[in-house]
């Protein structure tokens, strides 16, 4: 079983969006028995919280289930549990490396490095643009998908 963890700062916008979207892609590709997915935060601000209302609205717009999404913080043990730890921006990558104790490890990936974009996924908590975040996360999830098609 391949285990994938998406990580952002608070685990209420980008990473739960990516978790829900990737689960949806896996379901469509009939891969839920081969790959599991979760999400986490580098901060402790929203532990136990549901996703941001903007994240819930954009997932609902595209008929993607948000069931089971609850904020949690990344732990050092997550490095051993997951095969891939995918951060939404360069700051997340630095924090993931610091928390896990594994800087520059190949299992720690910035999401949009899997695409033709050389940038971070902007945080819609600050930008308010959940559509832009959705579009970029979708592209990254499709690029990471084993079938590469989404």
Which tokens sit at 105? 């490890």
Q: Which of 111, 139, 90, 102 is nearest to 4 (CA)?
A: 111
Residue 29 sits at φ, ψ, to 5 deg, of -95, 5
If we measure between CA atoms, which residue out of 57, 94, 92, 51 comes closest to residue 70?
51
Query: Which residue in the list 89, 120, 123, 141 is annotated as catalytic?
Result: 123
Reply yes or no on whether 23 is catalytic: no
DSSP secondary structure code for residue 49 in this structure: P
Coil vs helix vs strand at 1: coil
Q: What are phi and psi of 137, to 5 degrees?
A: -65, -40
Per annotation, catalytic residue among 14, 23, 72, 110: 14
Q: Respond yes or no: is residue 8 known to be catalytic.
A: yes
Distance (Å, whole) CA 98 – CA 104: 10
The residues assigned a catalytic role are 8, 14, 123
């Amino acid at each position: 079983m391949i285990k994938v963890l998406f990580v952002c700062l608070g685990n209420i916008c980008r990473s739960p969006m990516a978790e829900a979207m990737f689960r949806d892609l896996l379901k469509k590709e009939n891969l839920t028995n081969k790959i599991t997915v979760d999400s986490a935060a580098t901060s402790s601000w929203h532990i136990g919280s549901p996703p941001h209302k903007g994240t819930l609205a954009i997932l609902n717009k595209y008929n993607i289930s948000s069931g089971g999404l609850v904020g949690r913080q990344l732990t050092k043990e997550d490095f051993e549990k997951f095969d891939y730890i995918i951060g939404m921006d360069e700051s997340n990558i630095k924090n993931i490396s610091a928390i896990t104790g594994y800087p520059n490890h190949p299992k720690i990936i910035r999401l949009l490095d899997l695409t033709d974009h050389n940038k971070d996924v902007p945080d819609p908590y600050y930008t308010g643009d959940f559509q832009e975040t959705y579009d970029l996360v979708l592209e990254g999830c499709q690029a990471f998908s084993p079938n590469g098609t989404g």
